[in-house]
C-alpha cells in the first residue's frame, strides 16, 4: 500500500515535498551536523533531493535510501551524474563517485549493507510516516548511527484533524518520547511556515521544528 501511494505520487508529479533548492535549514545547521567531519552521511527517504549534492560537496560519500525507482532515476538524470546499478539483496544500488542510493524499502536495509554513520539527515522521512510506524522507524534509524553520532531532524506540527497527511504532524512531545531513550535531544528552532498551499488545505498554523539528536 505504501509503495502504491508513493509510486503514484511520483508518477503523477504530486511531489510538493520536493524542494527546487538546497534546504536552507541544512545549510544553516551543517556545522552542527557535520561536527566531527564525517566521511559519510546517511539520508533516509531521500527522493531526488538536491540536499544530496550539497552534502556530497562537504563529505566523501552520501548514502541515501529511497522506495520509488523513478525518484532515484530522476535524481541521477537531472543532475547529470554518471552511475552504475547493482542488485544487492532486495535493493538496486545506484552508485556514483560521491553519492550512492539504495532503491528499495528502508525497513529492509541492513547494517551489514551500509555500516554505521556519524551523521544522518532526516528532512522528510518521519513526517511521511503514520504514527503507528514511527517507533519502528526510529528504532531502525538509530541502529545506523554510531554512539556520539548526530541526526539533524526536521519535522512539522499542525492540527492533524484539519488535514490528511502526508506530511503528517509529528508534535515535539512525540519526538521527545521517540528519541530521548537513545540520547540527547535539542530543539534548534521552531518557525511558522504556513503558506497559501497549506492554508487552502484547511490549516491555520504549520510549525516547522528543527532538532539535533546525539546518540549516547
What are 1-40's pLDDT values in tens digits?
A: 344 565 666 566 554 555 689 999 999 999 999 999 999 9
For residue 124, the model assigns a pLDDT of 86
d(CA 122, CA 170): 13
* High-pLDDT (> 70) share of the chain, %: 91
- Kindly give the residue spans of alpha helices, DSSP state H, lying in the chain: 2-12, 24-28, 30-33, 51-56, 69-78, 111-114, 131-142, 172-179, 196-199
**CATH number of the domain encompassing residue 145:** 3.40.50.150
* Statement: residue 182 has pLDDT above 50: yes
Mean pLDDT for 174-202 is 96
Count up the domains in the chain and report the number: 1
For residue 12, the model assigns a pLDDT of 64
Residue 138: domain span: 2-12+20-215
For residue 3, the model assigns a pLDDT of 47
pTM of the model: 0.94
For residue 61, the model assigns a pLDDT of 98
Beta strands, E only, 96-197: 99-103, 117-122, 145-157, 183-192
pLDDT in tens, 45-55: 999 999 999 99
pLDDT in tens, 78-129: 999 999 999 999 999 999 999 999 999 999 999 999 999 999 999 989 999 9
Amino acid at each position: 500500500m505504501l509503495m502504491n501511494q508513493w509510486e503514484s505520487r511520483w508518477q503523477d508529479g504530486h511531489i510538493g515535498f520536493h524542494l527546487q533548492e538546497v534546504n536552507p535549514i541544512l545549510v544553516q545547521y551543517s556545522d552542527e551536523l557535520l561536527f566531527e567531519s564525517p566521511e559519510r552521511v546517511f539520508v533516509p527517504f531521500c527522493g531526488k533531493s538536491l540536499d544530496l549534492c550539497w552534502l556530497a560537496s562537504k563529505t566523501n560519500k552520501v548514502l541515501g535510501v529511497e522506495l520509488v525507482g523513478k525518484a532515484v532515476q530522476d535524481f541521477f538524470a537531472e543532475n547529470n551524474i554518471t552511475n552504475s546499478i547493482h542488485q544487492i539483496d532486495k535493493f538496486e544500488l545506484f552508485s556514483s563517485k560521491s553519492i550512492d542510493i539504495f532503491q528499495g524499502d528502508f525497513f529492509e536495509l541492513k547494517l551489514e549493507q551500509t555500516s554505521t554513520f556519524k551523521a544522518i539527515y532526516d528532512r522528510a522521512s518521519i513526517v511521511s510516516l503514520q504514527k503507528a510506524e514511527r517507533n519502528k522507524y526510529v528504532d531502525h534509524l538509530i541502529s545506523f548511527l554510531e554512539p556520539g553520532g548526530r541526526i539533524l531532524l526536521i519535522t512539522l506540527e499542525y492540527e492533524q484533524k484539519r488535514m490528511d497527511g502526508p506530511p503528517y504532524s509529528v508534535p515535539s512531545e512525540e519526538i521527545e518520547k521517540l528519541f530521548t531513550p537513545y540520547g540527547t535531544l535539542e530543539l534548534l528552532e521552531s518557525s511558522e511556515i504556513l503558506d497559501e498551499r497549506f492554508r487552502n488545505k484547511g490549516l491555520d498554523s504549520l510549525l516547522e521544528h528543527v532538532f539535533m539528536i546525539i546518540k549516547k
